[in-house]
Amino acid sequence: MTNRKIKEAGINPFFGYLLVLLVFILLSAYIYQKTDFAKYLVLLICFSLQLRLSEKNRTDFLITTFGDKTKKIKRVLENLIVCIPFVFILVYKSNFNETSILFLMSIVLALISLQTNLNFTIPTPFSKRPFEFPVGFRKTFFIFPISYVLTIIAIIVDNLNLGIFSMLLIFLTSSSFYTKPENEYYVWIHAETPKSFLKNKISIATKFVTLVVSPILFSLFIFYLTDLVMIFLFFLIGLLFLWAIIFVKYSAYPDEMNLPEGIIIALSLFLPPLLLIVIPYFYRKSINRLKAILND
């Protein structure tokens, strides 16, 4: 499937993978040069890619095709393959503790299903409409208590970087709720213009993500008063990244985002100032794309 998407983008798969590897190496070197937060960012990106491989439809297909035991073996192998380039970076930078965590979590994430089998519906603090946050929250609910626990640990050991990492983990998880396009009907039923539709999407996403990230944000504000500006800056970057994901999604709608968009998003994660260019560009593309479905 990855090869097909690369070909659809008009790129030879070999050169496509080579380009991704080159960009990965250059950006890794850049963030390690610019910030002490780099090792946490490497973990964050790796975990986000592995979570994408744990989507319910995909894991259900693997179970149906290969059985539960073989599915688990395949998922462990997939996660280990994904983490290999990140392991090389961490080992090269002598981040051995983070390397151990990455290996352990790669196996854990492969064995744990994101879809709960409990016979009750997990309550959420979100309204049923729009659907992205209630559905996404239930699929990834375990990420949120983990993030809150990491924040507590960060405060106890006096590690602000770990606290910021836990906040960005929630932003990245929330952004994943908007990566898959919904059925066109669920867009068409909105009796509003493309601009109004996108404005409402951004407004609600901002409100909901602020709600779940506020315990971390205010805890860091209280215990790190001298770093208020930096904490708020990372909060703002998280919001901008979420907005960018939404605009990228609807710039390709009703299709899924392709490799070029994915590379741009990855670049924005490593180089947040790019978001100031990415957001208005994909906002305009989203408006034009939605005109075919919504009233202008």
pLDDT (average), residues 34-55: 77
Greatest pairwise CA separation for the chain in angstroms? 55
- Within a domain: 232: yes
The identity of residue 87, as a single letter, is V
Q: For residue 215, give the 3-state DSSP assignment.
A: helix
- Within a domain: 174: yes
- Within a domain: 115: no
pLDDT digits (tens, 9 = 90+) for 75-101: 999 999 989 989 999 998 899 988 998
- Within a domain: 293: yes
- Within a domain: 85: no
- Within a domain: 34: no
What per-residue confidence (pLDDT) applies to 117? 46
pLDDT at 179 > cutoff 60: yes
Residue 153 CA to residue 136 CA, distance in Å, equals: 26
- Within a domain: 41: no
Is the pTM for the entire model greater than 0.85?
no
pLDDT at 116 > cutoff 50: no
Overall domain count for the chain: 1
Which residues span the domain enclosing 180?
A: 129-296
- Within a domain: 175: yes
Buried-exposed string 165-192: b where 16+ CB fall within 10 A, e elsewhere: bbbbbbbbbbbbbbbebeeeeebeebee
Residue 200 CA to residue 246 CA, distance in Å, equals: 11
Q: How far is CA 28 from CA 21, 83, 100, 189, in A?
A: 10, 14, 19, 43
